[in-house]
Amino acid sequence: MLYPAELRARAGASIRVGGCAAQPLSPRMAAALRPPKRALRPAIMRCLVPNLAILSLAACSAPTTGPEPSLAPRAAEAIDPRVPIPGEVPTGSVDPVLAQRLGQLVGEARAGVPAFDARQADADRLAGAAGPMASESWVAAQQALSLLIEQFGVTTRAAANIDELGASRLQGQRWITPADQQAIAAAAAEVLAISNRQAAAIDRLKNQLAR
């Protein structure tokens, strides 16, 4: 029995004779020289299927190397969600340097109140006696109003410095403690009350002299 390789060798020798060019093979000869296709036999498949099943079961039953996860409750699960949240956050103590500076600014606003009240009394008196616009008495009332506005600047500067103090601390420290926030808010509120009263008096005199 001749194998396909031997058949191809003999066919090549028989075709090439006397140095002549090789003749093309007939379809029947080419089919005879082509190696046959082999399919898996049923017996081999019957052997492979049980082996694959055994390997799958062995992979599933392989023991784990690490510790098994615990089924005990976690620490977060032990917290009762019904526990009430404290309504007030501890504020702590105010920074002594901040408290001292706030006291100075509030003191400046308070100290300017008597001088403002005295100038307001003069402006009220002159505005009540002022004649027509551009008259001598009207000009005197306007001058008194200008002095009152100048005194009002003491209060506005104190308020601006308090705001700047809070902004600079927030920019430098990236945050402000609750105690410091409350101290700044209290100082700003007190100075704002003084400022609102003085601003209302100035607006009233302006309207009175504008007629």
Residue 106 included in any domain = yes
Question: What is the enclosing helix (H) or strand (E) of 107?
Answer: helix 96-128
Quick: pLDDT tens for 5-18: 555 555 554 444 44
- The pLDDT mean for the chain works out to 78
Distance CA 99, CA 94 (A): 7
Q: Taking CA 185 as the corner, what is the angle to CA 197 and CA 102, rounded to the nearest 5 degrees?
A: 85
In which band, very low, low, confident or very high, does the pLDDT at 172 lie, cut at 50, 70 and 90? Answer: confident
pLDDT at 209 exceeding the cut of 70? yes
Residue 44 included in any domain = no
Q: How high is the pLDDT of residue 186?
A: 97
Domain CATH for 108: 1.10.132
Among 21-25, 31-35, 66-70, whose mean pLDDT is lowest?
Answer: 21-25
Residue 144 included in any domain = yes
Q: How high is the pLDDT of residue 169?
A: 85
> Percent of the chain at pLDDT above 90?
51
Average confidence (pLDDT) over 157-185: 91
Considering the entire predicted model, what is its pTM? 0.59
Residue 124 included in any domain = yes
pLDDT at 190 exceeding the cut of 60? yes
Residue 55 included in any domain = no
Residue 181 included in any domain = yes
Quick: pLDDT tens for 118-169: 999 999 999 999 999 999 999 999 999 999 999 999 999 999 999 999 899 8
Q: Based on the structure, what is the number of domains in the chain?
A: 1
Dig out the tokens for 8 from the structure.
Answer: 């191809």
pLDDT at 182 exceeding the cut of 50? yes
SS3 content of the chain, % helix, strand, coil (to 5): 70, 0, 30
Distance CA 11, CA 54 (A): 50
Residue range of the domain that includes 201: 96-210
Residue 68 included in any domain = no
Average confidence (pLDDT) over 22-37: 57
The answer to whether the Cα torsion of 23, 27, 32, 33 is positive or negative is positive
Quick: pLDDT tens for 41-55: 555 555 555 555 565
Q: How high is the pLDDT of residue 86?
A: 58
Residue 19 included in any domain = no
